[in-house]
Structures are given as structure tokens and as C-alpha cells.
Structure 1
Amino acid sequence: MSTVKANSKPLGSISFVGVGPGDLGLLTVRAIEAIEQAGAIIYDRDIYAAVVERYAKNDAELIGIEADAASLPMSNAARAKRLVKAAKDHGHVVRLLDGDGAVFAGLAEEGLACRKAGIQFEVVPGVSIPAAVASYAGVPLTADGVRGVHVVQAGPQAVQNVVSGKKTSNVLLGSAGELIETSAAMIEDGWKPETPIVISADGTRVSQASVETTLAEVKPQLAALARRRELGTDLVAMLGPGIAHRAALSWFETKPLFGWNVLVPRTKDQSTSTTERLTEFGAVSTIVPTISVEPPRTPQQMEKAIKGLVTGRYEWVGFTSVNAVRAVKEKFSEFGLDARAFAGLKIAAVGGVTAQALRDWGIEPDLVPSGEQSAKGLLVDWPPFDKVLDPINRVFLPRADIATETLVAGLQEGGWEVDDVTAYRTVRASPPPAPVREAIKNGTFDAVLFTSSSTVRNLVGIAGKPHASCVIACIGPATAKTAEEHGLRVDVLASETNAISLVESLADFAQSARDAAIEAGEPVLRPSQRKGAARRRAR
């Protein structure tokens, strides 16, 4: 009697994941789960880089299948073969596909190859490109009684598939050349040259650019757009009654900071909340670290303070930055301690970001300023030493080597003894790459966010002064004073002393400028587009 030998190695599985139109916020929950669990990510387009960077495991293998060994476009059959092999090698594999994954994305050919090879697979639909880009461009596809939407790949044969009529909308996908060819063919086929059309590049991203024109003007309008920016091959064109509502329904490209390139002179881990808020307002962020955080030159002072913390030397521990939290956490790790060592101590945080860093560590601060998020604001709420209520009169302040004396002096006036300990040093970072330095000087950036006096001094020191057209936004009066001392005219001062308020104040500034331009009948231009009429900075 013969026996059937079981496969010693499982065949693996594949998740075909539609990544949507480009905005990472439109990824589905299931898509994120699949990407996070994958042993390998298979892709054929560079635009997937942001998806991989944010969600893929660090050890996930990245497999490109856009071109073969000879740098020629890979055939569908070759892609499918590579896909099956990856599943067998890695167990669970994610294949990233455009948009919803099923429209002009190669799902059918690759899925059939998996079925033939006995590979299990699932399809995780994404947000469709036509519907998403139309929504972000302010063009409702089924407005005014439209009963049909035709999605067509632009090119030589597209004119055979577009449908005319008051109850129909058409969405064309393709490159600039394909859209120009298709629009010309449509006119030859009887479409009116003045037929309205909206074309979007980089749809749903903060770099989105839309042109509202006519079929007859597609070629010159795209040529003008191409002179200002790289168009790429993924343009989306919309035709239909919904275009008439674009002025009222354009919500994305009318964001206060839409298209602004904002310079954030901080480290990446310090800038997450800032860059996320900038993105919400439509801006593109460029992070340029101006300081490097290093351990103190001698560790003895910090080690003594940590031992004192454990043995009951302190009543309070005051954290004035995320870096201070990180420095203490690292020293705890060296000594084999964890957050339980803070039991019985009162914890103060200078502001919301620092407080959140403590909460992430499992520590709920006892004191956060109710008003200004700064050392001054912290002093307002910090209770004075009371011989009856406070068994210990000493405070541990782990801080930077360049920290001001405001907090120490204020606590001492309140009767507290302060151990002001250097927990970390801040040194000037290396200069950014030459293209970034040139962009700072020539006015490519629309705004720069200064969150401390040191960011002003260090940015000017490593990269030079921002161009006169660049909007200067400062987190508080001290930072603004430093900016002015360096010859910069301060345009925006945060309403509250924190980074989120700084971004929101910049957005208010931009919105006011936008409203004024519209009221005056002038074009809405970003600061970098007004370099010729730049204001002269204070000297």
C-alpha cells in the first residue's frame, strides 16, 4: 500500500493588499495588519516606500518586481512566478497593489498563478483611486443625477470607451502624454473643445496639484504644470457634471498650508506630532536636526542622583523635556530599574509632550502647567515647600547642560533645595546636505518653525539664514528675540508655548493671507512663489 508523503515545507500564503491612492490615512485597518505581519513585502512601484517605512517589520524582506535582471519591465508571468517563490520562501507575503487592488492593478493574473500553484491568498481591497482622487479634487462623480461612472485607461484606444451624456461621468487614468492624446482624440470624435475637465497629479497627497481646464486646453495646461513640478505617470482626469461644484466642494487643496514646504529644525523623534499636524493642514515637512543629544561628559552626577532617587533623597522629580525623560530611562535601564522606582515621588512635567513621554513609560505626572507650557508656567503651579506637608525639601531636575536657571531660581525662592543635574548634553548637529542648505537660502521653503533659541542659533550656524521670503514662526518671546538678533523678521508667534500651537498659529497666518488674496482678487501664492516681492528682514 502506497503512502502519501506530506509536504515538509508549507507553501505559504499571500495577501494582495490595495494601498489606496497615496494618502496613508486611507489605508484600511486590515491592510495595516497584513503589512505588519508579513515576512516579505513585494512591490513594483517606488510610491509604496512610505507604506513600507511606516508599517513593515524591520526584518521584512523587500522584493521589487518592477524590472527584471536586465532592467526591463517584468512580464505578468514573471511577476507571478516571483510571487509564488516568495510565498514558499517566507511563509506569509504581502503584495502591494495600487488603489483598490483590482482596477488596472494586475490582481487577476497574479491571483490565478497563486491558485494554480496551490498558494493560499486573500484580497484586502483598498480605497479606489478614481473615487478618492475625485473626492480630494472636489469633484462629486455622481452629482446632478449622474447614473454611470466610467473608469478608462487613457491612451490610443481610450476614446472608444469614454461615454458622453449628461447622466455620465468619466475618469481617465494615465500619464500626461496619454491624457493629451486622449483629449485630442475625443475632440476629433465629436466632443466639444470647451468640455470642462479636471486633472489631478499626486492625488490625495499633500503634493496634489489639480488643473481645471477644457479638452482643448489640456496640452498647454499640463505643459505649464510640468514646468512647475514633476508630473509623474499617475494622473487622474475627471469629466462630468460634478465639475460645476468644484469651487464649493474643494476642501483638500484649500487647506491653510496646502502645498507649503515647512522646515522643522528638530530631530525626527521630536517632530512626530509637529509633522503630523502640519500634514493635517496640507503642508509638506522637511526635518533638519540642528542639535545632537549626547550623554554628559562625566556620569557620576547622574548616577548619584538616581541612587538618591531610590533611597528617598527627593520629594519631587521635575522633567523639562522629552530628552530628560529618555536620559533617566536609559540610566534606569543601566541599573536594572523600572518605573516602579518612582513610587512615593511626585512627578512634574513642563508640558504636554513631556507628560506624554512619561505616560508612555507608565508614569502619570502629578503636575503639568495649567497655563503656559514652559518653566515659567510650571513655576506658577508648583507649590512652595511646606515644612508640615512635605517630609523632604529636595527636588531632582535632570536637564540639558544649556538649560536656563529660571526654574532652579524659582524653586529655590519657594523654599526647595534643587539638585540641578546634567542628564544630557546638546551639541550642534552636522550641516544638512548641500541641496537642503541651498533650499534654505534660496527660498524653496515657505516657512520655518523655531521651537527654541538654540534651534535658531544652530540652524543659522549650520545652514545659514532662511531666505527673506520664508515665514518665520517662533514658539515664544525668547525664541523670537533670538531670531530677531540673527536678522530675521518674526511673522508668527505661537499663541501657547508648545509645538502644536505653533503649527496652528502658522496655519492661522496662512489662512489670513489666503483670505486677503481672494478678497483682493489676487492669486493665492505660497511664500516661496512670492520670492520676487520678498519682504526685507529686520537687520
Structure 2
Amino acid sequence: MMDVEGRSGPSPPEDRPRDPHRVPGASSFRVAVTRPDTGDDRLREALEARGFTPVDHPLLRIVPPEDPAPLRRLVRELVGGPEWPVPDSRLPGSQGPESPAPVEAPVPATWLLVTSRQVIRVLDQELSSLNAGPDEIRVRGVRVAAVGSATADALTEWGLPPDLVPDRFTGDDLLDTLVRAAGEGEGTGAASTSLAGHRFLFPRAERAREVLPEGLRARGAHVELVTAYRIVPDPEGARELWAAVERGEVEVVTFTSGSAVRTLAGVIPEGASWPPGVRVAVIGPVTAGAAEGTPIPIHHVPAEFTLEALAAAIDGDDHEANPTSNTDT
């Protein structure tokens, strides 16, 4: 997409403006990255590829679960628990690599639900402590569903390509895809909305959204929720970011979770206003919703809920024109 000045991308460094109201694409255009420090640099890389300067301002920290025993039991069961029937093929609708032709899937099935790269890191650590690897999960016939192409790619790189990836990247979409796939695999000749007999193992962040597990249970599935990690607020980091926003040290603030939005909102003094020269970009509507009733406005929401699309939205290439002023007034 062409930018407002008719260029097909960021201008050369020597041509980029240096005034306080810099345009996207300027090498000194600073974008605050509020994601926790997990070693995942995809957003930074996407921003740098577009000529932006990412500035780390993590608002959250990732810590282990208070009680690691349930997670360890789940992992031990994945590689050494009861024998589950090994499926003859992936379920119909599979988006994993080299999927064979659809055939009737065995019922009931056991699923591992993976919704983030952080879950993969935790599983890898726990499996390593047992001298095991992801291939042993597959051997036991466990089917794997992933939310998002990035999570699916990470699973494949880890050695556990997913059987199912929804077309869109939310828990709601994964629920719909699971219902369709499991129903089609019943061999009834028509898709069923029942998941009775199916078992879902769901390691996730503490206090994650309940849409997916509640939807699965409502359809008769057995769901085992296990805390794989906790995401806790970093108030000191939030205060540092707010000070940077007030001083005009960043041009854009990015949010990829509602928790990060709430953490920053919690340190903004009562009656304070968001500086008009600082824009806010969020990864999707759920994150945007967390800003309602706070001084934090929303200027950019990508049409696709990925980190690459978030960077593109800041650059003007891919966003919904949906600026809001989420103030109490």
C-alpha cells in the first residue's frame, strides 16, 4: 500500500523527518513494545523491517505456576500415561503438513490444545526433565490443535506439527473448528455438534479466557485445565512507560493483551489525559475492549490478529479505521 506521500515504503534515512511529530517509517519513530520478555522477538523484527525503532517497555512478567504439580502430572501422562488409540490419520479439516486423505477418526479422541509459544516452552522444559520429547506425544495418538499460525509454526519447529489450525486466530474460532472437525470424524455422514467422549488437555496461562473451555464442556467434552505459567503485572515497568509517554519519548504504544492495557491504566493518575501525539495500536478487539473506561485511546486495530499485521497497521498498510477515545467522560 502507498503511504500518504505516495511512497511504496519507508523513505531513505537521509530523507526522514526529525520533527517531534514524526511519520511512520522514520528511523527515529519509536514504538513501545509492552510484551513480556520471553525471547520472542517477532514484533521487534516486524517493526524494524518497516523502519521503526522498537523500545522495550514490558508491562507483564511470566512466572511459574504457584503449584507445578498439576502441570507435571499432565506432561507425565502425555508421554507415559494410559495408552490411547493411535489414530489412522488426522481429522478431516486438518491444516497440518502432509495430511493424508480424510478417513473416519477414532472416537473418543484426546486433544492437546496449544494457544501460545510460551506453552510450548513450558512443555519443552517439562519433557526435558523426563528425558522425553514431542515425538512421544504424537506416538501416543494425541491430536494437537493450535491457535494462530505463529503457534502452529512453533509447534512444527518443535517437532509436533498440529493437526488442526483455525482460519482465524482466537479461542472462539478454534472452538468452531474443533466442533466441525470432531463432528465430521464421527462417521455419521453429517457433522455433529457433540464432543461427548472427547478429552481436551489444556495447559495455559492462569486466569485465561474461559470461552474455549466453557464451549467445549457445553458440547459434552471433558476438559482438563492446567496452569502452565502465570502472567503478573509489572507496576514499575508501567510507571516507566507512562513517564516515557508523558515526556514524548515514544510515538506509538503497542498492546498485545488486555492484561498489559489494564496494567498501564492502573498507574495513570486520576484525571490525567493521554497525550494526543502518542498513538496506540492493539492486536485485536479483545485487547481493545480492555481499554474501555480508561484514558487509553485506540488508534490502530489490525484486520488480522498477528504481530506482523500489528506492525503493518502502525505503518498504515493493514488496519481498521477505528480510533476511539476510551475515557470515562
Alignment of 1:137-536 (within 5 A): 208-210=13-15, 256=25, 258-269=27-38, 271-310=40-79, 311=81, 312=83, 315-343=110-138, 344-370=141-167, 372-383=168-179, 385=182, 388=186, 393-429=198-234, 431-432=236-237, 436-461=241-266, 467-508=275-316
Within 1, Cα distance between the matches of 2:268 and 2:10?
37
Which structure has the highest helix share of the two?
1
- Structure 1, gaps ≥5 residues long: 1-135, 139-203, 213-224, 229-252, 514-534
- CA spacing shift, 1:369–1:537, aligned 2, 3 Å: closer
The question of 1:538 aligning with 2:305 is answered no
Specify the SS of the correspondent of 2:65: coil
The alpha-carbon deviation at position 257 of structure 1 amounts to 5.5
Cα distance in 2 between the residues matched to 1:307 and 1:281: 44
Q: Distance in 2 between matches of 1:277 and 1:336?
A: 35
Aligned twin of 2:105: none
- Compared CA separation, residues 278 and 466, structure 1 to 2 (3 A): farther
Distance in 2, matches of 1:434 and 1:379, equals 37
Contact residue 379 and residue 411 of structure 1 kept, 8 A = yes
Gaps of 5+ in 2: 1-8, 85-108, 188-194
1:264–1:271 contact (8 Å) kept in structure 2: no
Q: Is the 8 A contact 2:293 2:327 kept in 1?
A: no
Q: Deviations over 1:73-97 (max 9, x none)?
A: xxxxxxxxxxxxxxxxxxxxxxxxx
TM-score (norm. length: structure 2) = 0.73
Paired letter, 1:538: T
Counterpart CA distance in 2 for 1:443 and 1:460 is 17
Q: Could you report, residue by residue, the CA deviation over 1:86-141 in whole angstroms, capped at 9, with x for unpaired residues?
A: xxxxxxxxxxxxxxxxxxxxxxxxxxxxxxxxxxxxxxxxxxxxxxxxxx998xxx
CA contact (8 A) 2:146 2:152 kept: yes
**Structure 2: how far apart are the matches of 1:421 and 1:137?**
45
TM-aligned CA deviation for residue 367 of structure 1: 1.0
- SS class of match (2:225): strand
Q: Which of the pair is proportionally richer in strand?
A: 1
TM-score by length of 1: 0.46
| CA distance in 2 between partners of 1:439 and 1:292 (Å) | 19
Residue 209 of structure 1: how far off its partner (Å)? 4.2
Tell me how far 1:395 sits from its aligned partner: 0.7
* Contact residue 261 and residue 283 of structure 1 kept, 8 A: yes
Cα 1:262/1:348, change in 2 over 3 Å: same
CA distance, structure 1, for counterparts of residue 278 and residue 131 of structure 2? 48
* In 2, Cα distance between equivalents of 1:375 and 1:512: 21
| Matched residue type, 2:174 | L
| Cα displacement (A) at 1:453 | 0.4
Deviation at 1:496? 1.3
Cα shift at 1:357: 1.8
For 1:323 and 1:504, the matched residues in 2 are separated by 24
Residues 434, 347 of structure 1: alpha-carbon distance in 2 compared, 3 angstrom cutoff: closer
- Report the secondary structure of 2:237's partner residue: coil
Percent of aligned pairs with the same amino acid = 27
- CA distance 1:411–1:266, change in 2 (3 Å): same
The higher-RCO structure (CA 8 Å, 6+ apart) is 2
Letter in 1 for 2:28: G
For the structure 1 residues 273 and 466, does the alpha-carbon distance in structure 2 shift closer, same or farther, using more than 3 Å as the test?
farther
How many equivalent residue pairs? 277
Contact kept? 2:196, 2:219, Cα under 8 Å: no
How far off its partner does 1:400 sit?
0.6
Residue 455 of structure 1, CA deviation: 1.2
Aligned residue type for 1:293 = I
Aligned equivalents of 2:250, 2:172: Cα separation in 1: 32
Alignment of 1:42-121 (within 5 A): none
State the Cα distance separating 1:536 from its structure 2 match. Answer: 7.5
Deviates more, 1:484-493 or 1:265-274: 265-274
